[in-house]
Amino acid sequence: MNLLQKLLEIDTVDSRNGEKVVALIREEVGAEEFVVECDGVVNAVFKKGRGAFGLCGHYDVVPAGGWDNAFKPRREGDLIYARGACDMKGGLAAAVEAFKELDDALLIVVGDEEKGGYKGAFPVVNFLKKRSLLPKAVVFTEPVSGCGKKIKVGARGVMEIEGWIESKGGHASRPSSAPNPILLYKALLEEVESSFSNAPNSNLPPTTVTPTIVETPNLARNVIPSLLRFTFDCRFNEVWDAEKVKRIFKKVLGRLKGARAEFSIVCDYYLNNDKRLEAALQNAFEDVHGEKALLTCEGGSSDAVFFAPYCGVAEIGPSIRNMHAKDECVSLSELKALKEVLVRAYERYV
């Protein structure tokens, strides 16, 4: 794949050189084009026909992280090694190749995915909405776990919880002289654990809260600390959503003297509700591979979260191989098959 080679040679860490990526793809596809720029991030939409079926990929990659020659692609048999080969210039190249064979489709090329998508997919969705150009469905060619044999149709949202337990502090020789934030934290942990142990199943995995940081800025071993800081990582589904988690936490914290917390949503959950899209992809996958792909909602969020309120969304892509790590790579034969699945899914869906 010549296009993939060229894409991998462009350093796109932090969405830099987006204009070079777009120029390269423009040369390949020759379709009506809209450029959506946001704070220096270049995004583009290519349109054929009415643009009913969307294919979307991000070109930005995570930093090389001490990997020399990360932007000098190296081929070994069926594998091509370079930063972004797997996540997700491989999938992007497959989407471009598929788009060339479609006649009622949108090709959506975005940056900023690795940083949350607020300068990438988010403004693109707003642009498409304003112009009444939103497609019926969008397929994201992100790498998906399960050796590429899974189709992702949802993901839980992410919320960070940071909190503090304050006390007046005191001498450890008189334990009852002051509330001890460490013991209050123990009570908090137990209450949180029992509150979430029966979080209901939904279409997405159950809501979870995981303690991640706990610290007391206490320098002396014989002092009851006056402050404890804690964080939780929360993954929420559509039933026990962010608001429900906040309510539970506030109730528990209300019972603990001197405790408070702040909540920040990193990204919302998404859930595809276009069953026809799922069937089209599953049947197309079976046509090409001779076996069934499983639908999954496991793993983190993606640009799909921005499109999900307006159209069908699904993610299908190559196997994960050293993603975000040194020697990230992608299988060329998997990309060839992926392109075929995309074309066949389009034929079944549109």
Judge whether 241 counts as a catalytic residue. Answer: no
Give the C-alpha separation, 93 to 235, whole Å: 31
Give the C-alpha separation, 16 to 32, whole Å: 24
Tokens standing for residue 18: 């987006």
Q: Which stretch binds Zn ion (CB under 5 A): 82-90, 290-298, 308-316, 325-333?
A: 82-90
Q: Measured on CA atoms in the order 193, 197, 198, 199, is the torsion positive or negative?
A: positive
Q: Which stretch binds Zn ion (CB under 5 A): 36-44, 84-92, 146-154, 162-170?
A: 84-92
Smallest gap from residue 300 Cβ to Zn ion (A): 9
Q: Which stretch binds Zn ion (CB under 5 A): 79-87, 166-174, 217-225, 314-322?
A: 79-87
Helix axes 181-196, 242-254, angle to 10 degrees: 140
Smallest gap from residue 92 Cβ to Zn ion (A): 9
Q: Where are the beta strands (DSSP E) in the chain?
A: 32-38, 41-48, 53-58, 74-76, 79-81, 105-110, 137-140, 150-152, 154-155, 157-166, 170-171, 208-215, 223-224, 227-236, 259-267, 270-271, 294-296, 312-315, 329-331
Token look-up 């069937």 returns 279
Smallest gap from residue 142 Cβ to Zn ion (A): 5
Pick from 88, 125, 153, 332 the residue near Zn ion by CB under 5 A: 88
Nearer to Zn ion, 57 or 163 (CB): 57
Smallest gap from residue 287 Cβ to Zn ion (A): 26
Instruction: State the amino acid at position 248 in one-letter form.
Output: I
Catalytic hit among 97, 112, 113, 278: 113
Nearer to Zn ion, 91 or 135 (CB): 91
Give the C-alpha separation, 318 to 1, whole Å: 15
Instruction: State the amino acid at position 123 in one-letter form.
Output: P
Token look-up 């190749």 returns 97
Q: Residues in contact with Zn ion, total (CB under 5 A)?
A: 3
Positions in 134-153 near Zn ion (CB under 5 A): 142
- Number of residues written out for the chain: 350
Residue 295 DSSP SS3: strand
Pick from 22, 51, 87, 272 the residue near Zn ion by CB under 5 A: 87
Catalytic hit among 60, 114, 268, 334: 60
Smallest gap from residue 113 Cβ to Zn ion (A): 5
Site string (176-215) toward Zn ion, x via CB under 5 A: ----------------------------------------
Judge whether 87 counts as a catalytic residue. Answer: no
Residues belonging to the active site: 60, 113
Site of interaction with Zn ion (CB under 5 A): 87-88, 142
